[in-house]
Amino acid sequence: MKSLFALNHYLYKYRVLLGLGMIFVITSNIFALFLPQLIRIGIEQIQIYLPFSYVFNGLNISHLYIDMIFILIAVISIIIIITTLIRGILMFLMRQTLIVMSRHVEFDQKNELYLHYQELTPSFYKRNSTGDMMSRISEDVSRVRMYIGPAIMYISGLIVTFSLVIYSMASINPYLTFWTLIPLPLLSYSIFKVSKIVNIKSESIQKTLSSLTSKAQESYSGIKVIQGFARDHAVQQEFEELTSQYRNESLSLAKVESFFSPLMLLLVGISTLLAIYIGGNEVARGRFTAGNIAEFVVYINMLTWPVASLGWAVSLVQRAAASQKRINEFLQVTPDIVSGDKYIINKIESIRFDNVSFVYPDTGIVALKNISFEIKAGEKIAIVGKTGSGKSTIAELLVRNYDPLSGQIYINNLPLKEIQLSHFRNLLGYVPQEVFLFSDSVNHNISFGNPNATQEDIEHYAQLASVYDDIISLPKKFDTIVGERGVMLSGGQKQRVSIARALIKNPNTLLLDDCLSAVDAKTENIILSNFENNWNDKMVISITHRLFTVKNFNKIIVLDNGTIVENGKHEDLYNKKGLYYDLYQLQIQEEVDSK
Ligand SMILES: Nc1ncnc2c1ncn2[C@@H]1O[C@H](COP(=O)(O)OP(=O)(O)OP(=O)(O)O)[C@@H](O)[C@H]1O
Ligand SMILES: [Mg+2]
């Protein structure tokens, strides 16, 4: 339950709504109390006047008594209608305050969690599955809302109803009150038990349903493989197994749920029976009136719903506590990368790696060992090496997706850790190795790099990235939707769109991580020479497999197994006849083979 304390600051924030809600809970319950009392008064008055009409039977005066009874009933009915109407309005206001408050809290909590997700680093995203994060921000938050809204409303309503009704009952006849209340705790307990079973069952149904959907989803996206391997029947069977599990679980839930109302009616029936039986005896002894019996029956009915909802509300609170615990777990994760606040830089003039080593925290893989190099404004450097040699890791450290284990990275001779991060990242045009495009138009995907870009800018940078002609040939040109739910672009087209997205930022430094691997050598050359012509004063760091295209670069760093084994200009490295020479020969060989 402790986990729910984390919500107190929301309750404080919406204290006005909460306070008003409580007032409406109390007043609506006070108005509910009029009904049983009015019924008693009605019955008692009839009991007084009816005998007179018998006594004066046949005389004019007898009609007078009958008329009086009718007027009395009419007046009482009107009062009942008015009080019920007022109660209805108060209940409406109670929902308008408490349930509305819960929606506000839900909104705030979703945003709080989303903001926190945004601050967390890639290592967090590697540890936790997307599905888990989604369920915390959607299902868990809605369960917490059920506590803030309905649970608080029902539980406070219950406390108020209980105190008022039991006080009224006990002040009439404590003995009868005791007997009629006996079955109610039993009702509450059994409904609590039933709701618990219902919750467990619905949770397992939810799980089955989600594996059912992901199974279906996977088979739709993998339909080519399934049909190609003639596995349709096997997949169909697996699907059928899941659907039949889903059906069985749903049927078993329906069985439990069908106990709900009969159980409630049974226990309420017993209470009513006791009220009439024991109440009748009391009337016979003269300690009670017939009106009192009717009043008691209405009181019992008034208690039924709150008592029934107690079990339900308690289970809501329990579920909310479990959910809030899961939410707290994520909220308490502190981002392992925190922006520095000492320096704000507006231009990247130099980048220096000083003895940087790095180990991936989750796997313990040593990715970089004692890396040192420096790049100055206007320089173009290439980082080359075999696959897995640590090239992308250098890029990840530079954008501060991770921090070095030892050593330091300096920008303009200032430690990167002390530099305001979002400013710095804005100066970088980073194109990661894994291309990601949003399910959106080409236009929006490119202008993502600079939301203020005009259509002309977008087209200009598309040209620089050498993807303009490809886009023009799409059905809706720049308005074509790409990504998962749109036109499938080829690997090379995606890479070039993502380059345009980085270029449109007009960054100070371009960091390209093997982002032309799926583009042919000729296009790669065109793009790189576009840079030459337009980016003279800017830094370019290009991680690549294609050594031919970086021959003219100012410096080439050759990585092997996380260490820099060679670095320098193309000619020097070539003449050294070391790893660079081998890689180069290998590429010439590949080129020959492919021709
Ligand atoms: N997120 C990660 N978590 C754990 N280990 C990783 C992660 N990313 C990379 N590694 C490991 O770190 C080492 C260096 O990987 P890196 O991605 O830097 O290589 P690379 O030179 O970019 O290779 P490629 O040319 O294939 O892109 C590899 O052994 C890899 O398995
Ligand atoms: Mg890589």
pLDDT interval class at 485 (50, 70, 90): low
Beta bridge partners of 368: 358
436-446: average pLDDT: 87
Instruction: Give dist(CA 440, CA 486) in Å, integer.
Output: 8
Architecture of domain 1-172+313-336: Up-down Bundle (1.20)
> Which of 126, 392, 431, 557 is the best mutation target for the ligand 1 pocket, counting ligand atoms within 8 Å of the beta carbon and taking the most?
392
3-state secondary structure (DSSP) of residue 377: coil
Asked if pLDDT for residue 335 goes beyond 90, the answer is no
The alpha carbon of 387 and the centre of ligand 2 are apart by a number of angstroms equal to 7
Ligand 1 atom 7: residue of nearest CA: 360
Token representation of residue 137: 């921000």
Name the packing angle between helices 491-503 and 521-534 (round to 10°). Answer: 10
Instruction: Give dist(CA 401, CA 425) in Å, integer.
Output: 11
Nearest to 382 by CA among 532, 539, 524: 539
Q: By percentage, how much of the chain surpasses pLDDT 90?
A: 17
380-390: average pLDDT: 88
The alpha carbon of 360 and the centre of ligand 2 are apart by a number of angstroms equal to 14
> How much is the pLDDT for 435?
85
Class of domain 350-594: alpha beta
Domain boundaries, the chain: 1-172+313-336, 174-287, 350-594
Q: Tokens 């007046």 identify what position? A: 75
**pLDDT tens column, 224-247:** 888 898 888 888 999 999 999 999
Asked if pLDDT for residue 55 goes beyond 80, the answer is no
Residue 393 CA, closest ligand 1 atom number: 18
The answer to whether 140 touches 9, Cβ cutoff 8 Å, is no
**pLDDT tens column, 159-206:** 999 899 999 889 888 888 888 888 778 877 887 888 788 878 887 887
Instruction: Locate the DSSP E strands across 386-425.
Output: 406-411, 414-415
Asked if pLDDT for residue 483 goes beyond 80, the answer is no
Ligand 1 atom 31: residue of nearest CA: 388
Predicted TM-score (pTM) of the model is 0.75
pLDDT interval class at 293 (50, 70, 90): confident
The alpha carbon of 225 and the centre of ligand 1 are apart by a number of angstroms equal to 29
Q: 373: which residues sit within 8 A by CB, 6+ positions away?
A: 352, 353, 381, 555, 557, 564, 567
**pLDDT tens column, 19-42:** 999 999 999 999 988 888 888 888
Residue 514 CA, closest ligand 1 atom number: 27
The answer to whether 482 touches 497, Cβ cutoff 8 Å, is yes
Instruction: Give dist(CA 455, CA 445) in Å, integer.
Output: 12
The alpha carbon of 588 and the centre of ligand 1 are apart by a number of angstroms equal to 26
Ligand 1 atom 5: residue of nearest CA: 360
> How much is the pLDDT for 26?
93
Nearest to 300 by CA among 308, 288, 311: 308
Ligand 1 atom 24: residue of nearest CA: 387
Ligand nearest to C-alpha 432: 2
Pocket of ligand 1 (CB under 6 A): 126, 360, 362-363, 365, 367, 385, 387-393, 433, 514
Residue 390 CA, closest ligand 1 atom number: 18
**Same-fold call for 1-172+313-336 versus 350-594:** no
268-294: average pLDDT: 86
3-state secondary structure (DSSP) of residue 356: strand
pLDDT interval class at 12 (50, 70, 90): very high
pLDDT interval class at 487 (50, 70, 90): low
pLDDT interval class at 595 (50, 70, 90): low
Q: Chain-wide mean pLDDT for the chain?
A: 86
> How much is the pLDDT for 104?
94
